[in-house]
């Protein structure tokens, strides 16, 4: 199904989610990929929570590509708020919860971005067996296994889940 978004007087198709995911993976190490992702997701808001969540992640990642510490913090806070809004709009979305869990896991401790770390980890472990998308299931499973916040008991439970 192709979804269309009205931008001004134009109707444009939503970007391919696989392209969004690929750019999101490249964005932390590649400023051009980050900018391309932000441009691709510019028109999105909470009416499409998943794409808006990726827009929030891309905005947080943009902080890695700027030198000014005030701009860095500003981009991070802006992206964090966008991701929170996306999750508020669709709290049971597994991919959004994974995005927040991974962002909180990777965020420097001094930012204090860890309010939902335990809740998201618990949620992801609970829903992991039912994830249909093999690539997403594998990505979530591997990330949970590597995350320092995942307990030894949880890791044993996760290892038993088949891809």
Task: Parse the chain into domains and list their residue ranges.
Answer: 17-91, 101-163
Low-confidence ranges of the chain (pLDDT < 50): 1-4, 7-10
Q: Is the pTM of this model over 0.75?
A: yes
Q: How far apart are CA 97 and CA 117, in angstroms?
A: 10
94-118 pLDDT per residue, tens: 999 999 999 999 999 999 999 999 9
What pLDDT score does 12 carry?
64
Q: Comparing C-alpha atoms, which of 95, 160, 101 is closest to residue 131?
A: 95
54-68 per-position pLDDT tens digit:
999 999 999 999 999
The DSSP-derived string for 47-115 is: TSHHHHHHHHHHHHHHGGG---HHHHHHHHHHHHHHHHHHHHHSTT-HHHHHHHHHHHHHS-GGG---T
**pLDDT at residue 123, as a whole number:** 98
Confidence (pLDDT) at 74:
97
| pLDDT at res. 2 | 38
Residue 144: count of CB within 10 angstroms of its CB: 24
| pLDDT number for residue 163 | 80
pLDDT of residue 13: 80
pLDDT value of position 11: 56
């Amino acid at each position: 199904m192709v979804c269309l978004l009205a931008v001004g007087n134009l109707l444009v198709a939503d970007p391919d989610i696989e392209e969004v995911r690929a750019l999101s993976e490249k964005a932390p190490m590649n400023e051009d990929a980050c900018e391309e992702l932000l441009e691709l997701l510019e028109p999105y808001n909470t009416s499409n929570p998943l794409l808006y969540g990726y827009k929030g992640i891309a905005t947080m990642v943009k902080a890695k590509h700027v030198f000014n510490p005030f701009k860095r913090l500003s981009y991070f806070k802006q992206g964090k708020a966008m991701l929170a809004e996306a999750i508020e709009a669709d709290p049971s979305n597994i991919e959004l919860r994974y995005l927040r869990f991974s962002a909180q896991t990777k965020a420097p401790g001094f930012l204090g971005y860890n309010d939902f770390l335990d809740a998201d980890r618990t949620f992801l472990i609970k829903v992991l067996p039912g994830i249909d998308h093999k690539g997403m299931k594998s990505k979530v499973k591997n990330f949970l296994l590597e995350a320092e916040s995942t307990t030894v008991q949880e890791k044993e439970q996760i290892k038993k889940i088949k891809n």
